Structure 1
């Protein structure tokens, strides 16, 4: 198999798969947790977060590496720029997560390990629902970033064939 074709398939499909995976968390999973008690929502969020990280982190690395290879082997400067942009946008979800999302994630994970009284207080104050909704909004940004990364890669691949 041609290495360029393989790298295109890996880069593009991985970015779109991650986008869809993260979309399901924001669109389907997290909203179902909002009305539930903190004793239920925070451990469930911890599971969603840890399972997601086990897919998203390696997926980001794989997609970005394939995009970097495509940028390096590009046949034109414009193609190089588009593949580099695809990789950069996809990789951008990692610093976004670290800087913008981790404070809320850490708080939710801490609440998941807290005793019932702390969880009830956080639920009654609206903190848990607020943190879950903030995570959902921030995750939508990551969804768009991965979709844009996949779209840029697809654009470059199709343009190359024309």
Structure 2
């Protein structure tokens, strides 16, 4: 039994908005989350030992939520690909390569996972180590420099990571063209 046109349209809306929302959510940390946190170190004399603990809290929230949202969004794109595969009723009213395009959209959305593992893991692990230091432990100027550098590196890597679901959404949107 093939999916109905209305469930297909709902899935399109969920996939496209899910990808856009996930991308914006990830990017907002790099645009409006981390820079003000880092700035408080300079303007309000907040120690980087406190700032890195705040980063860890933000990171933990994201690590608990983003993967499931990304997985649901990608699963929606894969459902769409399955729905328009060759010989289905919906394949007759969609572009010929729609199934492959939806598969690509799903894969791009899931791209946040390998990118995080390959490019961000070392930075995440090192920042987590710094966040575990007790506040009373002496922080040197070299420690401050390393932590601030790592926080900025994470900010830029996270911004790049946000592009994957955005591209997934744009590719999924390309089916309409």
Within the candidate set 55, 60, 65, 1:45 is matched to: 55
1 or 2, which has the higher helix percentage? Answer: 1
The answer to whether the 8 A contact 2:123-2:154 is kept is yes
Within the candidate set 46, 61, 72, 2:71 is matched to: 61
Number of the residue aligned with 1:33:
37
TM-score, normalized by length of structure 2? 0.81
Number of the residue aligned with 2:124:
105
Cα separation, 2, equivalents of 1:90 and 1:31:
25
1:7 aligns with 2:26: no
Aligned Cα root-mean-square deviation (Å): 1.9
1:142 aligns with 2:158: no
| Structure number with bigger Rg | 2
TM-superposition CA deviations, 1:116-141 (whole Å, max 9, x none)? 36572376451111111111111111
- Which runs of 4 or more aligned residues in structure 1 lie more than 2 Å from their structure 2 counterparts after TM superposition? 115-119, 121-125
Shift of 1:48: 0.8
Cα separation, 2, equivalents of 1:14 and 1:51:
18
Q: Secondary structure at the match of 1:34?
A: helix
Number of the residue aligned with 1:114:
133
The answer to whether the 8 A contact 2:48-2:144 is kept is no
Cα separation, 2, equivalents of 1:119 and 1:154:
52
Q: Secondary structure at the match of 2:139?
A: helix
Cα separation, 2, equivalents of 1:127 and 1:114:
14
Cα separation, 1, equivalents of 2:116 and 2:33:
19
TM-score, normalized by length of structure 1? 0.88
Give aligned pairs, total: 158
Unaligned runs of 5+ in 1: none
